[in-house]
Amino acid sequence: MSLKSVVITGASSGIGKEMAIEFASRGYALGLTARRYDLLKEIQKEVEKLWGKAIPVELRVLDVTIYRDVFRVIKELDYALGGMDILVVNAGMGKAKPLGTGNFQGDRQVIETNLLGAMASVDAGIEVFRQSKKQGMIVGISSIAGTRGFPGNAAYSASKAGFTNYLEAAKLEVEGEGILVSTVLPGFIDTPMTQNLKSKPFSIDSKTAAIKICNSIERRKKFVIIPFFPWYFVHKLLKWIPNFLFGRFKKSFERNSKN
């Protein structure tokens, strides 16, 4: 019997890496992409050490800002795995700096990666599933940060807000085609991307986050906040809290992080 398969973009570290290991433990064949092949190779070796050749692992170098490569690589992995069941759009980056400090090129990279690269990945996944007529699942890893524009992290917030809305539109576009699109909004997760943040309230480690995300995927959830408590309530609150209170909230966490 052939294994179910999952393709994960941005799989070399953080949540992507932990999801790869978790899916392997559940018997999924893996298609992993990232910019650094050496880090992908380490994951492949870890999977082989734990499960031998029972879990196929396909690796591809991919920079999601080279959009034509996104379509090519996802099609390649679909073929190599004998059919892709799940696509996890996880590749992302963050460069938190205040506006007006000469960081526009960094902000542009964030938008090109987190929004345009993610959009290309979703579009490529839909194309593959439509052509194969498979009831596949596309999972977009967005962020609670997309709920409200966070000062000092404007481009990241904008990229995730855009991606969340894109995913919601995609859900409706493919409705009735057997393709399920899921939106995942993590709160603060301890990953290399967040290690330099001044404060990370209610953070969880990337392994715990990966387990929760994999559980939600297997349950075919369409919208998930990780972890549910307290981020579900924070997500609701962020939409309505006045700017002057939001500013105090932010400054309070910054003060606490310096103590």
Residues classed as catalytic: 156
Beta-strand ranges (E) seen in 134-227 are 137-141, 180-186, 189-190, 204-205, 223-226
CB 84 within 8 A of CB 56: no
Burial class (CB in 10 A: 0-12, 13-18, 19+), 64: buried
Identity at 26, one-letter amino acid code: R
Closest CA to 6 of 182, 156, 136, 177: 136
Burial class (CB in 10 A: 0-12, 13-18, 19+), 43: buried
Helix (H) or strand (E) holding 84: none
Residues 6+ apart with CB under 8 A from 209: 15, 18, 186, 189, 226, 227
Provide the residue count of the chain. Answer: 259
CB 207 within 8 A of CB 15: no
Evaluate the omega torsion of the peptide bond into residue 230 and state whether it is cis, within 30 degrees of 0. Answer: yes
CA distance 218 to 104: 39
SS3 state of residue 46? helix
* Residue that the structure tokens 């493919």 belong to: 174
204-205 and 5-8 beta bridge pairing: unpaired
